[in-house]
Amino acid sequence: MRPSILCFSGLDPCGGAGLQADIESIFQCGGHTLPIASCLTVQNTLGVSSVSPVKNDLIQQQATAIIEDMEIAACKIGAIANQDTAHIIAEIITDFPSIPVIYDPVLMPTQGQPFADLITLKAIQQTILPKVDIITPNHNELALLTQSSHRSAYTPPLIERIQSLGQLGPKHILLTGADEKSTEVNNVLYNHNTLVETYTWKRLANNYHGSGCTMSSALACFLALGESIQDASLHAQLYTYETLKHAQSLGHGQMIPTRNRVHQ
């Protein structure tokens, strides 16, 4: 039986990221997606034009309907567009202390309107991060999550930012390096402040819409299937890399991953 993964993510009308990425990736990795829209977006492969949060009562009603009917094996959280959404998602997942919670901090798109302002970011730090088992930021998202206004002129070293993020609650951090300027992509798994493993991938030539959503939802699925953090992290990256290698140019901007079945 496929494990069911509860996903709070944004709705992407071009089908590259958000809930569409969750549904496709989780199905192809062996799970079943329980999708709840945390926000509605106006976006395409060129960028994000607007982000509209879904009302709290509708998020709660959707979650309640699912919880009353189905067993949840993991939870994946994506875009959070305001502080109210952060609070209601945190409240919902509090009822599931024994399942893995994966947070993909969708905070700033490559182009277009940000998903979260400073008030929302603060709410995420206070309510979501303490409940997260593994978070999957890139370097820009790590900087946003660990910024401190009174030290705005100071750029801390990487290990200090990792320590700061760990102090906010996540048990594991899978830091992705796709947004770095390097010939290879280095993703690094940490257990709190301890480096567990470094994964090095050949950098692909293009830019992709939904790569982070793909990896985090695949990670949630593999954890729901009972894999360890290390195995799930590796398998999620392998799956994502294949989707990017076969990505298609369906619009005039970033390429969209081709989320086919897992090749063992």
CATH of the domain at 127: 3.40.1190.20
110 vs 49, which has greater pLDDT?
A: 49
Please give the pLDDT value at position 82.
96
Domain membership flag for residue 65? yes
Contact status, residue 193 vs residue 173, Cβ threshold 8 Å: no
Q: What is the spatial order of strands in the sheet that 4-11 belongs to? A: 47-53, 32-44, 4-11, 74-77, 101-103, 134-135, 172-175, 184-191, 194-202
CA atoms 143, 149, 153, 156: torsion sign? negative
Residue 187's pLDDT band (cuts 50, 70, 90): very high
Secondary structure (3-state) at 230: helix
Q: Give dist(CA 123, CA 110) in Å, integer.
A: 23
120-152 tens-digit pLDDT: 999 999 999 999 999 999 999 999 999 854 445
How far apart CA 80 and CA 112 sit, in angstroms, is 16
Share of the chain above pLDDT 70, in %: 95
Q: What is the pLDDT of residue 175?
A: 97
Q: Which helix (DSSP H) or strand (DSSP E) does residue 62 occupy?
A: helix 56-67
Q: What are the tokens at 249?
A: 């140019």
Q: Is residue 251 part of a domain?
A: no
In a domain, 85, yes or no: yes
pLDDT for res 263: 55
Q: What is the pLDDT of residue 150?
A: 43
236 occurs within a structural domain: yes
Cα–Cα distance between 188 and 176 in angstroms, integer?
Answer: 7
Range of the domain at 76: 4-135+208-245
pLDDT digits (tens, 9 = 90+) for 94-104: 999 999 999 99
Rounded Cα–Cα distance for residues 245 and 136 (Å): 21
Q: Is the pLDDT of residue 18 over 80?
A: yes
Q: Structurally, how many domains does the chain consist of?
A: 1
Q: Please provide the average confidence, as pLDDT, over all residues in the chain.
A: 93
Helix (H) or strand (E) holding 174: strand 172-175
| Residues comprising the chain, all counted | 264
Helices (H), 68-138: 83-93, 118-123
Domain annotation covers residue 80? yes
Please give the residue that has the higher pLDDT: either 114 or 244: 244
Q: Tell me, what's the pLDDT at 149?
A: 42
- The pLDDT of 160-172, averaged and rounded, is 95
At a CB cut-off of 8 Å and minimum separation 6, what does 194 contact?
A: none
Question: Does residue 186 belong to any structural domain of this protein?
Answer: no
The pLDDT, as a whole number, for residue 178 is 86
Specify if 182 maps to a domain.
no
pLDDT per residue as tens digits for the range 207-248 = 999 999 999 999 999 999 999 999 999 999 999 999 999 999
Is 214 within 8 Å of 259 (Cβ atoms)?
A: yes
Q: pLDDT tens digit string along 49-79?
A: 999 999 999 999 999 999 999 999 999 999 9
Whether 154 maps to a domain, the answer reads: no
- Output the pTM of the full model: 0.94
Give residue 154's pLDDT.
Answer: 64
Going by DSSP bridges, is the β-strand pair 47-53/32-44 parallel, antiparallel, or unpaired? Answer: antiparallel
